[in-house]
Amino acid sequence: MDRLTQGFRPYLLLSLLCLVVYGPGLASVPPLDRDESRFIQATRQMMQSGDYVRIQFQDEMRAKKPVGAYWLQAAAVEAFSHPLSPSLWPYRLPGALAAWAAVVMTFGFGQSLLGRRPAFIAAILLATAVILVSEAHQAKTDAVLLACVVAAQGTLARFYVAGRAKEMAPAGSGGCAGGSCGGAKGAVQGPGLAEALLFWVAQGVGILIKGPMVPVISLLTIAGLGFADRRVRWFVAMRPLVGAVVAAAIAAPWFVAISHATGGAFVGQAIKSDLLPKLLGAQESHGAPPGYYTLLAALTFWPGSLFLWPAMVRVWAERHRLAYRFLLAWALPAWAMFELVPTKLPHYVLPVFPALALMTGGLVAEGADIFRGRGARIYYAAWSLIGVALAAAAVALPIRFGDGFDRNALPAAVGIVLATLLPVALALKGRVATAALALSLTAAATFPAVLAGIMPGLDRLWVSRQVAAIVDSLGVSEPVASAGFSEPSLVVLLGTHTRLTDGGGAARHLAAHPDSAAAVAAPEQAAFLSGVSAEGLQPQAVGHVVGFNYSRGKPVDITIYQARRK
């Protein structure tokens, strides 16, 4: 492995891995409901209107997140596409690049904490985690947030280790006491002003991306270290007073502008309608009890979860080492916070994953004995079932939601199974570091096959795409109405002026817009037909879509109508 981690080679290899797992499907997977579609549509409206302060979804103010991700998406579209283009990949490009940046920075910062081999393994585990691969394919905030978190936390780690090592070292030694700095050998070179500024810039940009999340993660880490060490003098070297001004200078201008443009309504609505409901209850039915993320980690961190839980059993014993001490302070308070907040979605814990990856990579590189024994073998066997389940899904999903059995799915399924069993076989032989490298093959065999080969063909899941294809074939020149099916992806595909309404509203829309169409879900059929009759219209069914709305977990039956005067 030493040859792989020399010089600039690890950066190139990690970049290639990210290209392999993040690139496929970026352009071919339809818009995903619901957050991604709202981000895409709001960005598109921002570019069309020329108003880069306010965030709108159709006629409604969208006060869920600050403006940072929208600006990044708009920049990508302006550089590579056009607001009127149906291409989705430019909107997703910032997330994919941010995921790559988070992986590369995890290696860059990790090598100064633990050494190049552990950091390289950790970066592979992070790059291939299911939840990061998923977020890298969506036009949302979370991959960009992760890049900000890694930049901030990586810098914070360097200041902590250097500061504490200087305090612990014998007078005049200038190095680490007793090897307590972590896995890296030699003295710790203290970070300077440039790295301190990086920390504060990451805080400011992070606030523009997802509000207080980056500062909260850093504050929890500092509080955890202060509780464990009974001192935080090392933090003074990060110029907190100057840094706070830098972070505020980045984030404050837009908040002032949006408050002025909306009369203070944006911030008030963001707190009242988004933040507080998440803290006080299960927002939008996304609730789960504490322990949800812990149980789900075997899947969300897959395939790196092969070594995650064995490593977590051992890592507490390493808390005397400064690098592990910092990583535990990063992971434990933040994980506890996410477990305690009532509203839960799988990607919420993504900011903790770099710390988990670095701790796991460090213990794997050292060949800790926890990866052997009967318990480890049982865990490896259980873990392999996830890969088998993914392979089965590659065959079953086209049957259930596509055009039926797909012969091309069989080689993909076999490849997924073999690539899953390879690291297990290596781990059972005690070659855990090689097994960790082999997880990159597991990811390369799985994610492109699923994202580029399987998902785009699941027509029954992409209801909006089916409706849009029928409407496009009609050549209508006026906005379309949708009754009983109001997914944001439909607005992305049919246009900003798409009217989301009920059956009666769709009938009135056709009366007012003769050269239009209406997509009417089954529950609204009776009201629609009664409405068109009252308007003196003769409805004509011109298309029919049957599918499954995975956002609601319900089947849908939609008929597309046009109408003419009786």
Check residue 556 and report its DSSP letter: E
Question: What are the pLDDT digits (tens) for 403-450?
Answer: 898 888 899 999 999 999 999 999 999 999 999 999 999 999 999 999
Q: Considering only CA atoms, which of 156, 29, 11, 168 is closest in space to residue 457?
A: 29
Distance from CA of residue 495 to its chain's centroid?
26
Beta pairing partners, 560: 519, 543
Q: How far is CA 252 from its chain centroid?
A: 25
CA distance 328 to 140: 28
The answer to whether 483 touches 521, Cβ cutoff 8 Å, is: yes
> Are the C-beta atoms of residues 327 and 122 closer than 8 Å to each other?
no
Rounded CA gap, 127 and 303, in Å? 10
- Give start and end residues of each alpha helix (H) in 114-239: 116-127, 130-136, 142-168, 193-210, 213-229
* Short-list 122, 126, 111, 120, CA closest to 158: 111
Q: Establish how many alpha carbons lie within 13 A of residue 376's alpha carbon, considering only the half-sphere containing its beta carbon.
A: 22
Three-state DSSP state, 554: strand
CA distance 196 to 40: 34
Q: Are strands 518-521 and 481-483 parallel, antiparallel or unpaired?
A: parallel
Q: What is the model's pLDDT at position 182?
A: 54
| pLDDT for 387 | 94
Please give the model's pTM, rounded to 2 decimal places. Answer: 0.93
pLDDT in tens, 513-528: 989 999 999 999 999 9
For residue 186, what pLDDT is reported?
43
Rg of the chain on CA atoms, in Å: 26
Tell me how far apart the alpha carbons of residues 149 and 102 are, in angstroms, rounded to a whole number. Answer: 8
Q: What is the pLDDT of residues 42-80, one digit of tens each?
A: 999 999 999 999 999 999 998 888 999 999 999 999 999
What type of residue sits at position 434? T
Please list the ranges in the chain whose pLDDT falls under 70: 1, 170-189, 273-287, 566
Strand order from edge to edge, sheet including 481-483: 499-501, 481-483, 518-521, 554-565, 537-549
Q: Give the pLDDT of residue 179.
A: 42
Domain boundaries, the chain: 9-365, 369-457, 463-565
Rounded to the nearest 10 degrees, how much is the dihedral formed by the CA atoms of 24, 26, 32, 35?
130
Query: Cα separation of 297 and 194, whole Å?
Result: 35
Whether residue 152 contacts residue 391, with contact meaning beta carbons closer than 8 Å, is answered with no
Q: Confirm or reject CATH 3.30.200 for domain 463-565, answering yes or no.
A: no
Write down the residue that tokens 């709202």 correspond to.
38
pLDDT value at position 53? 95
Q: What is the pLDDT of residue 187?
A: 45
